[in-house]
Amino acid sequence: MKTIKILFILILFSVSSFAQNELNPLTSTPYIEVTGEGEMEIVPNQIFLHFTLKERYVKNKKIDIEDLEKKMKQHLKANKFDLKKLSLADADADFVTIKRKNKDVLASKDYLLEVKTTDELSDVWQILDEIDVANAYIQRVDHSQMEDFKKEVKIKAIQAAKEKANYLLEAVDQKAGKPLFIQERESYHQPYAANMRLEKMHVMADGAVAAPKEPSISFKKIKLNYKVFARFAIQ
């Protein structure tokens, strides 16, 4: 009796599996598998500049961080920069507490300033050199419409996959039908900026002060690359 019951269960399982395969288009429908790719290069319009203000002594007089910050904001505002684009790079840095514990400690603050173009960036380099900031460099670049561009590249990749499936099937007098399976594979390459650290003025051997070199500002474009693996039914 037990043997008959086991055989009955196995038969039911086999019938159920067969029915599922018949109904599952991924296994029961003739298909073609292809890859599609979409690419786009974007000129960044968001350039994030990181720099540091540090307290220092000039002729035995201490220049406080508050004075340095005030001077920096005055310079930026005078040159039509939006102060809303200026923020602390590390909001958790509690430099005030350090100063209160030890008055001899020279406090510092890290900032992040967003500019739109390389022309604006050149102006900022000059301002930062005038107020003697430390450790100025490009942290990253981006674009304000990045998500829209990503969507556009993804659409191109899927369209390329469908086009490829069609021209391959034309060779055997067939045509691609509805998609059965699509898997995305995205890559996003951040560009870099060459020679983007602010060079300080330095004293030459004869005591004269040499002007800092003009930074070489040349960005690579942001490259978006999107690939899809797709399976289309054969009509």
CA 235/CA 230 separation, integer angstroms: 16
Residue pair 47/114 in contact by the 8 Å Cβ criterion: yes
Cα–Cα distance, 121 to 81 (Å, whole number): 11
Q: Are strands 176-189 and 202-203 parallel, antiparallel or unpaired?
A: unpaired
Sole residue written with tokens 């998500």: 147
3-class DSSP assignment, residue 185: strand
Mean pLDDT to the nearest integer, 196-215? 42
- pLDDT tens string 85-142: 999 987 555 444 445 455 567 888 999 999 998 889 889 988 888 888 888 888 889 9
Sign of CA dihedral 66, 86, 112, 118: negative
Q: How many helices (H) and strands (E) does the chain have?
A: 6, 11
Residue 39 · residue 224 · CB < 8 Å = yes
- 132 or 34: whose pLDDT is higher? 34
CA distance 53 to 81: 18
Q: What is the DSSP letter of 207?
A: S
pLDDT tens by residue, 143-193: 999 999 999 999 999 999 999 999 999 999 999 999 999 998 877 666 555
43-81 tens-digit pLDDT = 999 999 999 998 888 888 888 888 899 999 999 999 889
Q: Which domains does the chain have, with CATH numbers?
A: 30-43+144-235 (3.30.110.170), 46-142 (3.30.70.260)
pLDDT band at 26 (very low <50, low <70, confident <90, very high): low
**Is the confidence at residue 10, as pLDDT, over 50?**
no
